Amino acid sequence: MATTELASSDQSDVVLAAHALSKHFRLHRGRRRLHAVDGVDLALRRGRVVALVGESGSGKSTVARLLAQLHPATSGEVRLHGRPVKVRAGRRFRAYARRVQLILQDPFASLNPIHTVRYVLTRSLKIHHPGIKGEALEQGLTDLLTKVHLQPDRFLDKFPHELSGGQRQRVSIARALGATPEVLLADEPVSMLDVSIRLGVLNLLSELKNDMNLAILYITHDIASARYFSDETIVMYAGQVVERGDSETVTQRPAHPYTRLLIASAPDPDNLAAAPETNGAKGEPPSLIDPPPGCRFQPRCPRATARCATESPPSFPVSGTQEAACWLFAPAGGNEEVPR
């Protein structure tokens, strides 16, 4: 997908960017390849949140892992402040991780049950600020817990099993902040938490974004939360970006048939008994193993035409910053249909 207006309007505050990033996993050491991510472009800016939205298996976590340098890319580039990065391990990886931190979905799995909060945060501070000790270390611990709204004297000596899910996720966030990062890659940071405490953790991330001028990638399958929390929303389907734009427009006036399906099929919080709408779309996402040409959503798309089965649509402008990779939005010469 072409770089968006949002992505190209001002490059000066871009911290981390993906350019045509792809990841194909080789299966069973054979010739077959699973196309987890294909040609993703995105730009993370200081003080802004980009939401990466899509259903399970669409490639969101793989994008985060590529950006975190936990996977080598098959093709394309990750750039930090405009410079291509390729680090695998050792000192260079630690230096990179100091600037780009990943927060995972499961605060239960990501904190070792045998270590106290003090141990977890001390380790983070010592890794990222070698030589820190004594009063500076104590102050660092206090500051980290205060930033995530946990009282230091109450929480420093607790073990993970003594904490609620929300408190654990706050400790995971504090651990990430120990690196004083510029970028947070938050992979479904609230999806395992009770609905009642999700908002509190998202508000905390929002506050940290403002206070620390962080660039945040917020990965979620919940497109409604993207509207609330993010400036830009990027929608992925089967490893590719299908739509992007400012969050208000993408969530309120979705263009791509898949985004419409995603929004229509989200449960209505006021009427959980009602069957979600599917706008005529049926079926499952396609196999990502050696995918066929054409639009990957075409087998499920209620508006597919013959062209969609053979030609992969590039990204077309829809309105303002909004773009959709769908032939419905091709200028004259594309599909005849009026999109809305």
Sole window of 4-12, 49-57, 73-81, 119-127 interacting with ligand ATP (rule: CB under 6 A):
49-57
Q: Closer CB to ligand ATP, residue 94 or residue 221?
A: 221
Question: Does residue 59 belong to the site contacting ligand ATP (CB under 6 A)?
Answer: yes
Kindly tell me which residue out of 3, 20, 25, 123 binds ligand ATP, with binding defined by CB under 6 A: 25
Q: Closer CB to ligand ATP, residue 36 or residue 150?
A: 36
Kindly tell me which residue out of 14, 16, 36, 328 binds ligand ATP, with binding defined by CB under 6 A: 36
- 70-109: which residues touch ligand ATP (CB under 6 A)? none
Question: Does residue 150 belong to the site contacting ligand ATP (CB under 6 A)?
Answer: no
Distance CA 142, CA 118 (A): 10
**Which strands make up the sheet holding 240-246, listed edge to edge?**
100-103, 183-187, 215-220, 49-53, 232-237, 240-246, 322-324, 316-319
Q: Are 186 and 110 in contact (CB under 8 A)?
A: no
- 189-208: which residues touch ligand ATP (CB under 6 A)? none
CB of 67 to ligand ATP, least distance (A): 12
Kindly tell me which residue out of 39, 54, 245, 257 binds ligand ATP, with binding defined by CB under 6 A: 54
CB of 27 to ligand ATP, least distance (A): 7
Q: Which of 103, 88, 81, 94 is nearest to 129 (CA)?
A: 94
Distance CA 273, CA 93 (A): 48
* Residue where the block lists tokens 């072409």: 2
**Which strands make up the sheet holding 83-85, listed edge to edge?**
33-45, 14-26, 75-80, 83-85
Question: Does residue 56 belong to the site contacting ligand ATP (CB under 6 A)?
Answer: yes
- Residue 75 bridge partners (DSSP): 22
Question: Does residue 1 belong to the site contacting ligand ATP (CB under 6 A)?
Answer: no
Q: Closer CB to ligand ATP, residue 57 or residue 334?
A: 57
Helices and strands per DSSP (H, E), number in the chain: 13, 12
Q: How far is CA 284 from CA 127, 130, 149, 235, 261, in A?
A: 44, 49, 42, 17, 12
Distance CA 120, CA 107 (A): 13
Question: Does residue 58 belong to the site contacting ligand ATP (CB under 6 A)?
Answer: yes
- 169-188: which residues touch ligand ATP (CB under 6 A)? none
Determine the size of the site formed for ligand ATP (CB under 6 A).
Answer: 13
Distance CA 67, CA 14 (A): 14
CB of 49 to ligand ATP, least distance (A): 18
Kindly tell me which residue out of 22, 61, 124, 247 binds ligand ATP, with binding defined by CB under 6 A: 61
* Residue where the block lists tokens 């490893």: 239
Q: How far apart are the first and last CA of the chain?
A: 22
Question: Does residue 271 belong to the site contacting ligand ATP (CB under 6 A)?
Answer: no
Q: Closer CB to ligand ATP, residue 95 or residue 289?
A: 289
Question: Does residue 62 belong to the site contacting ligand ATP (CB under 6 A)?
Answer: yes
- For ligand ATP, the binding residues (CB under 6 A) are 25, 34, 36, 54, 56-62, 221, 288
